[in-house]
Amino acid sequence: MIPLPVNLVCPRCRREGGHSRSSIVFLEPDDSVAGDRHNDICPGCGSIYPRVEGVHCVPPDLEAFRQAQADVLDQGWKGSGATREIAAGACSDFGRLAPGSDAFREAFLPGSYAAAHFPEGIEFEALRSELACNLEWFALIRKWLEAHQPPAGSTVECALDVGCGPGRLLHVLAPFQPNGCLGFDLRLSMLRMGRRLAGGGEIFVPFRVEGSRFIPLRFSNPMPRDSAPFHFVQGDIVSPPFEAEVFPIVSAVSLLDTVSDPLFVLGQLDALVCRGGLLLLAAPYHWEPGVTSPESWLSTADRSAGEIIRLALSGRHPCLPHLDYELLEEEPLMPWALPSHGRLVHRFFLDAILARKRN
């Protein structure tokens, strides 16, 4: 297992001690447990953070995380498998879940995001063609990074993709840093799927084709086996388990409109970017009242969310006056498609920005 290029910070100690330097406590690895179930331990508060299949789980609230994601914490989780038969068994199990329940939603989301991130291998031509526009997005990001190199010699020499999902963007970002890219997401299911894909070969993921009917879809790693390394950490951007200003590239795609306080999260992202580093933001700004309260929506009667984000990056928003970025690239209408199931595809336009943090 490739070691993480970055120190993990205990979010509990940071939360209780504020954001002072003295509140930072680094986790220590504990590999004494047999098999693939290891832990990371905080020497300060004694919290034990699980490591599952190479994914470091460092949530702000351990108990809530264990309750909410208990199924995925199980070593026998079948949300993605090495064979079609394993995934077929999961399809049968998922089909018996109550539609509309949280468990049903968590069951079909990994397959939907895997299809959006890795459309090349989808067996159904109609669905594959509907999602082909997503490949243009990844090509655009590669082009932008080739034109605007991240700073050399950063502390960790590793990119960070926040809200990475199954991790397709990691495959784009990793070649630009010696230590590859770190995928960070709230859902362990996405990270375990991304970890299995990063290991090479192929995986089979349950995909909802309609109603409660799931079928296994095959996905494969688009990168050569000797490519730059990938790393995976589960956690919450509200309290990220990382040191400040260490990443030369930080990306957040379709994240800012899925959190309760987008300006606070923008500040958290900025805190992770090193001096001279690159920040990649993209979102359709599709606000859901149940996720982001209307008073926190960035869109107003006078300005679009994209305009407010650009103001904030230049330090002209009262909530984030310390931000100081140079806008390098922008694409306000980048197509992106996400399947809800095999017969319904949602189409978005991402407002994408690449900016550099000034020294």
- Domains, in order of start, for the chain: 11-357 (3.40.50.150)
**CA–CA separation, 212 vs 214, rounded Å?**
6
pLDDT band at 223 (very low <50, low <70, confident <90, very high): low
Beta bridge partners of 357: 325
Contact 13, 20 (CB under 8 A): no
| Average pLDDT score, the chain | 92
The arithmetic mean of pLDDT across residues 201-210, rounded, is: 91
CA-to-CA dists, residue 150 to 20, 138, 193, 265, angstroms: 28, 17, 28, 22
Could you read off the pLDDT of 44-91 as tens digits, one per residue? 999 999 999 999 999 999 999 999 999 999 988 888 888 899 999 999
Q: What is the pLDDT of residue 18?
A: 60
pLDDT digits (tens, 9 = 90+) for 297-330: 999 999 999 999 999 999 999 999 999 999 999 9
State pTM to two decimals.
0.95
Phi, psi of 336 (to 5 degrees): -150, 140
Angle at 347 between CA 345 and CA 351, to 5 degrees: 150
Per-residue pLDDT tens over the stretch 124-166:
899 999 999 999 999 999 999 999 999 988 889 999 999 999 9
Residue 15 makes CB contacts below 8 A (sequence gap 6+) with 60, 239
What ranges in 150-261 are assigned the alpha helix state H? 168-173, 188-198
Q: What does the block give as tokens for 203?
A: 């995986």
Report the alpha-carbon distance of residue 184 to residue 165 in Å, rounded.
Answer: 8
| Closest-CA residue to 115 (of 133, 129, 126, 128) | 128
Residues paired with 283 in a beta bridge: 351
Q: Is 8 helix (H, G, I), strand (E, B) or coil?
A: coil
Residue 69 φ then ψ, to 5°: -120, 35
Integer-rounded Cα Rg, in Å, for the chain is 20
CB 6 within 8 A of CB 243: yes
